[in-house]
Structure 1
Amino acid sequence: MLYSSIGIVALIVLLIENMDFFVGRKGTPELPSWGIYRRFLLSVLTYYIADILWGLIEERKLMVPLYADTSLYFAAIAAGVLFWTQYVVTYCNEEESLFGRTIIWAGRIIAFLTWGLLLVNLFVPVVFWVDSEGTYHTAQFRYWLLGAQILLLIVLTFFGFLKLAWVRGDWNTARPYRILGLFGLFMTIFLYGQLLFVYLPLYSLAYLFGTCLLRISIIEKEKEQYSLELAEANKVTRLKQSISSLLDNMPALAFYKDAETGAYMACNQLFAEYAKREKPEDVVGLTDADIFPPEVAEHFVEDDKKALGMNVPHIFFEDVTDAAGNPRQFETVKQKFYDTEGRLCLLGMCLDVTEMERTKDAMKMYARLNALHGNMLSVYMVDVETEQYTLFTSGESKAELVVEKHGSNFFEAAREKSYSIIHPEDQEYFAEMVTRENVLSTIDQDGIFMIDYRWQVNGRASYVRMQAAIVDEGQNKILMVGIMDIDSQIRREQQFNNELLAARRMANVDALTGVKNKHSYVEWEEKINAHIQATDQEPFAVVVCDINDMKSVNDLYGHMEGDACIKRAAKRICHVFAHSPVFRIGGDEFAVILTGRDYRDRLQLMEQLQSEQDTSDKARFGDVIAAGIADYRPKEHKNVLQVFELADRAMYERKRALKGQ
């Protein structure tokens, strides 16, 4: 009974510590190694049960139950070795290495060899046997199998300690590999003892100590880290949902795209349905050429170029066909803007007016004045041949804000009036667009002429739209010119644009320091990797910074002082690398991507960073920054991660040097 009591205690401890694996898997993080670790725990559980039963059965000398339970005992040991080798290789990310594959196959061979010999043992006692009096006896293959398992555990132990030496990090970074090595050492020593002393429950003791170490030092640490990453991911997801909600509440098809690549970055559900996609996420990353027929895609690209060349919103009517080839008519607004990363983007909103204006002929027949309704300020009738014009109707007190009530040479008069009423930044654009030749040719091609610009009255700028169309009255052709107040519409669009930029900025900015966060760093990393793959990446370098003794600051002075220390470090890094993006990628860890001017001056800037803290902050506890830098070399580096890892090693070497001063 004493033999079984050790196994009973070990079994109870295992169930208490790992109840979330055996019962409540819903809250257990599913990392790549967790499934294997769960199977390892099940093999340990099976071993405990077999070991407990072995002590009870052997004490009563029951021959058949003792034989069956001993077979289960050896099978569980083999399963434990199999899953432990797989867990170590997966946890250390060695699945693709030659060593990792060799270790996994060694574990499989030992396990399947053990199970095969247990089958042979049914007929020939090669592993163990039980005599008629219920006494257990060992056979030759028992020692060989346990010896092979000991040898494999020794290899895994050395592997854990070698990984510990390779990491060369701080205590928290190196701790998991230290525990893996200690676990293997425990199992090796106790399994060797079990080999020599059959009637001592040494292997149960080894599993008891080893699984407790794993739970405290590795499993809990990874669960805590996973919870933090999950919370950050949920925060980013909520921000993206806020942006999507903002777009979905727009009363028209809404989208924005990367001006350089033409790829859609976000859109609302209305636009996704128009593009024949189930949801907005299915549109992100696609271009017009991926969604629409070639002629429609080219038309959209040309409109984008016009909008990108203007300093005001580009508003126009267009006849297009959707992805199914159906004719549609849109009133479209496109506006360029720069996002928080300095990327040129294009915001677009399209109102489907197909039901209001079914054909292009209806657009050309601009004879009905109610087509110029609501916010109309002035309407002029212009004889196409003579350019004689007359004020037909007007808004209350703004009848003569374009030209006089009557006169000749309408286009010349409009240009002259523009110098006193039109915003200085739009005068050249207005003079270029509002010419007889351009207006008539545009109407002939599109059925309507439209231009948006700004008035400046009493020191206040307001947006207006000029629309013009030709009415054929038989012998004469009349050009109907209307001036509409669209200021409130443009202001709403600008407000939407600002809200969108603010939402995107929240998703990419660290709340504590105001620099870019890890989510933003991942986006930059992906963009640079794409240029590396395309072999057109400009020279750059990566700087990794870390604050020395940050944990001591928090322990001695509290987290408020720790936060202040982090903010001071961020400010100093931003000051030194003033022309490069700075990212907070961890609690007290920062990364900087140097290009252009900062890349050329990188050595001087690194010296500046070090000299500033040596002269002013070295004496201040916790305000010493360790920094490392690595240059991108096209022939050596395939991605940003490889450059980052070199910079990270350089930072740790600097960190140790600073602590040694």
Structure 2
Amino acid sequence: MENFTFDKDIQTAYEQLLHPIAIFHVTEEGVKTVVVSRGFCELFGYADFEQAYKDMENDSFTIVHPDDVNRIKTEMRRFLTAEGRYEVIYRSNQKDETPNKLLRSETKFVHMDNGVVLAHVWYMDESTDVNQKIIDLAQSVTALLTNMPAMTFSKDVLTRKYLACNQAFADYAHKETPDGVVGLTDFEIFDEDTALHFIEDDKKALAMDKPYIFYEDVPDAAGNPRRFQTTKLKFVDTTGKECLLGLCQDVTEAMQIKKEYGEKLAYANDQAQIDALTGIRNKYAYNELEQKINDRIKKGIQDKFAITVFDVNDLKKINDTLGHQAGDEYIRNACKYICTKFRHSPVFRIGGDEFVTISEGEDYENIDEILFFISENNKDAKRTGGMVIAFGMSSFSDNDEDVASVFMRADKLMYENKNELKKS
């Protein structure tokens, strides 16, 4: 089909329009340019009409960025079939030295009586508004990063150079401003070990399809120890460059506070388990160990053990005749004696004059010998008026479901021994 043309006067009138417009003849063979306006030439960087028509004659889509051509053609075919008008946004392909522009074009298809289909296209330059929005956005992001307490940075994956960072990261790198960091690598900022550490973390992040979150202990550029909660993730920028984004929250002081709190809590817990009079563990500590052993018994992983219950005879008599200070000293001496015999077992004071030991390992294997010495000491003490300590011991067996059953047998044997010592 022969290309459509306007009368000379109509052609000239269209060409003199200052608004960017173009009219195309749409055929089955393709799209041919009919007329372009003066505003069209200025928008796309053509020096004159001759240059514009010559360029457009070879390819009417030459004004469209190559990456957007297929999308424009698809949209055009879709709306041409529907005999409608459409609006589309795309990048220009400038013919001068100016940067590509972001355009919004509105197209209306006109079906002539002779079967000719003309596409009337109006062009609007959206670059100014978009650029301003980008500038405003960049300023907002910069302000956000600058005021973020967390350190933020981005790196180029191939060169490992820092592309951007906020002031918090610049401070960590001991640079006055973020500009002092941009373009440098880790080796140019930190010591070799720290730089290699960062690179290994980068590799882990790049190998993951989700953010890599971890804690790390690394020094700053001045060598001061720091602890961070770090998040790293990969992304591709608008140019197709693979980059790495990092967000580091300095938790050094928080972790130190947590450590100190933990130490204080542990100390307070230890103090809560210490008997103030004797310095050994108290009933609270015994109950806690009892629960742990019960858990092991339920799981069937508890080793053999023995419980020995002690009662110091004549404490009431000493308190009544010599005073409570003498009674306290009597209890401390009894405690020292029991601890010297049970060197490898925890000893607990569970009452005024009651003690208990839980023996495993070496003390369990030698329990009979240990108790024999205490029994012999009781005989001598009865003759000389020394300290007498009644005791009862029982071993854990397969029939026992918990520590309490072993304790009850040992406690019963202790009272039997106490009565025997009083009779003799």
Per the shorter chain, which TM-score range? 0.5 to 0.7
**Residue 628 (1) aligns with residue 392 (2):** yes
Which residue in the other structure is 1:437 paired with?
203
1:558–1:644 distance in 2 versus 1, CA, 3 Å:
same
1:600–1:369 distance in 2 versus 1, CA, 3 Å:
farther
* 1:382–1:410 Cα contact (<8 Å) kept: no
Bigger RCO of structures 1 and 2 (CA < 8 A, at least 6 apart): 2
Which residue in the other structure is 1:388 paired with?
161
Which residue in the other structure is 2:406 paired with?
643
Root-mean-square deviation over aligned CA pairs:
4.2
1:406–1:570 distance in 2 versus 1, CA, 3 Å:
farther
The structure with the greater share of residues assigned to helix is 1
Shift of 1:544: 0.7
TM-score, normalized by length of structure 2?
0.53
Shift of 1:591: 1.0
Alpha-carbon distance between aligned partners in 1 of 2:156 and 2:224, rounded to the nearest angstrom: 33
* 2:217–2:228 Cα contact (<8 Å) kept: yes
* 2:347–2:358 Cα contact (<8 Å) kept: yes
**Residue 416 (1) aligns with residue 416 (2):** no
The equivalent position to 1:588 in structure 2, one of 336, 353, 371, is: 353
Shift of 1:643: 1.9
- What secondary structure does 2:397 align onto? coil
Alpha-carbon distance between aligned partners in 2 of 1:591 and 1:567, rounded to the nearest angstrom: 14
* 2:286–2:348 Cα contact (<8 Å) kept: yes
The equivalent position to 1:574 in structure 2, one of 330, 339, 354, is: 339
Per-residue CA deviations over 1:63-94 (Å, capped at 9, x if unaligned) read xxxxxxxxxxxxxxxxxxxxxxxxxxxxxxxx
Q: How does 1:28-67 map to 2 (within 5 A)?
A: none
Alpha-carbon distance between aligned partners in 1 of 2:351 and 2:219, rounded to the nearest angstrom: 50
* Residue segments in structure 1 that go unaligned for 5+ positions in a row: 1-366, 420-429
Which residue in the other structure is 2:258 paired with?
493
- What secondary structure does 2:207 align onto? helix
* 1:448–1:469 Cα contact (<8 Å) kept: yes
1:515–1:471 distance in 2 versus 1, CA, 3 Å:
same
* 1:553–1:622 Cα contact (<8 Å) kept: no
Alpha-carbon distance between aligned partners in 1 of 2:370 and 2:188, rounded to the nearest angstrom: 58
Alpha-carbon distance between aligned partners in 1 of 2:204 and 2:187, rounded to the nearest angstrom: 11
* 2:277–2:328 Cα contact (<8 Å) kept: yes
* 2:204–2:212 Cα contact (<8 Å) kept: no
Which residue in the other structure is 2:365 paired with?
600
1:619–1:496 distance in 2 versus 1, CA, 3 Å:
farther
The structure with the greater share of residues assigned to strand is 2
Q: Percent identity?
A: 30
Q: How does 1:432-471 map to 2 (within 5 A)?
A: 434-442=200-208, 444-445=209-210, 447-453=211-217, 455=219, 461-470=225-234
Q: How does 1:253-652 map to 2 (within 5 A)?
A: 370=144, 375-376=149-150, 379-389=152-162, 392-395=165-168, 398-400=172-174, 405=181, 410=186, 416-418=192-194, 431=197, 434-442=200-208, 444-445=209-210, 447-453=211-217, 455=219, 461-470=225-234, 472-475=236-239, 476-607=241-372, 623-635=387-399, 637-652=400-415
1:454–1:542 distance in 2 versus 1, CA, 3 Å:
farther
* 2:191–2:221 Cα contact (<8 Å) kept: no
* 1:541–1:632 Cα contact (<8 Å) kept: yes
* 1:549–1:622 Cα contact (<8 Å) kept: no
Per-residue CA deviations over 1:501-540 (Å, capped at 9, x if unaligned) read 3454455443333333334433433443444344443211
* 1:411–1:434 Cα contact (<8 Å) kept: no
* 1:470–1:477 Cα contact (<8 Å) kept: yes
Q: Which amino acid aligns with 2:227?
A: Y
Alpha-carbon distance between aligned partners in 1 of 2:157 and 2:219, rounded to the nearest angstrom: 26
1:487–1:554 distance in 2 versus 1, CA, 3 Å:
same
Alpha-carbon distance between aligned partners in 2 of 1:648 and 1:482, rounded to the nearest angstrom: 62
- What secondary structure does 1:544 align onto? strand
Shift of 1:587: 1.1
Larger Rg belongs to: 2
Q: Which amino acid aligns with 2:206?
A: L
Q: How does 1:146-161 map to 2 (within 5 A)?
A: none
Alpha-carbon distance between aligned partners in 2 of 1:457 and 1:624, rounded to the nearest angstrom: 68
Q: How does 1:235-246 map to 2 (within 5 A)?
A: none
- What secondary structure does 1:435 align onto? helix
TM-score, normalized by length of structure 1?
0.36
* 1:548–1:624 Cα contact (<8 Å) kept: yes
- What secondary structure does 1:629 align onto? strand
1:533–1:449 distance in 2 versus 1, CA, 3 Å:
closer
